Amino acid sequence: MKNASLALTHGNYLSLSDIMVTEEKLLCTLTTDFHGLGYIQPSTRSENGDLVEGTVLDLPLWMVNPMKRNQWLEFQLPTAYQEEARRILCADPGIVEFRQGSRCRFSQNHYPLGLYIIPLADNINNSSLLATQIVKKKSLTLEEAKEVRSSLVSTFQLRFRQIMDWSNKTCHDTSAHDLKRLDRSERQLLEIGKAEQNSLISWNQRKKSKILKPSTAIKNARLMTDYADSRKRARIEV
Amino acid sequence: MFGQRAAELIRELERASDDALPPYKAESVRGICEEMQGIFEANCRDRVNLDADGIEQATAVKIQHAMHFRDTAMSRNKRCLIAYHYNRMERLRNLRWSLGGIIPTAIRQTLSEKETEWFSNYSKALTNYMMDVAELPDQDPADPQDPVVLDLTVHQRPPKEYFIDVKVLVDYGNYETQDGETIFLKKHMRLCMARTECEHLIRQGILQHVQ
Predicted TM-score (pTM) of the model is: 0.82
Q: Is the pLDDT at A217 greater than 80, yes or no?
A: no
Angle separating helix axes B57-99 and B4-15, nearest 10 degrees: 20
Give me the sign of the Cα torsion angle B92, B96, B98, B102: positive
Chain B positions touching A187 (Cβ under 8 A) are none
User: Nearest CA of chain A to the CA of B137: how many Å?
Assistant: 34
Mean of the per-residue pLDDT values of chain A: 79
Smallest CA–CA distance from B81 into chain A, residue:
A14
Top-level class of domain B4-126: mainly alpha
User: Nearest CA of chain B to the CA of A91: how many Å?
Assistant: 33
The CATH code of domain A16-203 reads 1.20.58.2050
Over residues B22-79, the pLDDT tens digits come to 889 999 999 999 999 999 999 999 999 888 877 888 888 889 999 999 999 999 999 9
Interface A:B, Cβ pairs < 8 A = 128
Q: What is the ipTM of this complex?
A: 0.81
Nearest to A187 by CA among A207, A203, A173, A199: A173
Residue B124 confidence (pLDDT): 92
Element containing residue B70 per DSSP (H, E): helix B57-99
Domain ranges of chain A: 16-203
End-to-end CA distance of chain A: 46
Q: How far apart are CA A186 and CA A110, in angstroms?
A: 10
Pairing of strands B163-168, B207-210: antiparallel
Domain ranges of chain B: 4-126, 163-209
Contact call for A218 and B76, based on CB within 8 A = no
Pairing of strands B190-194, A73-75: unpaired
Over residues A154-179, the pLDDT tens digits come to 999 998 988 888 888 765 566 666 77
Q: Is the pLDDT at B140 greater than 70, yes or no?
A: no
Looking at per-residue confidence, does A235 or B92 come out higher? B92
The CATH code of domain B163-209 reads 3.40.5
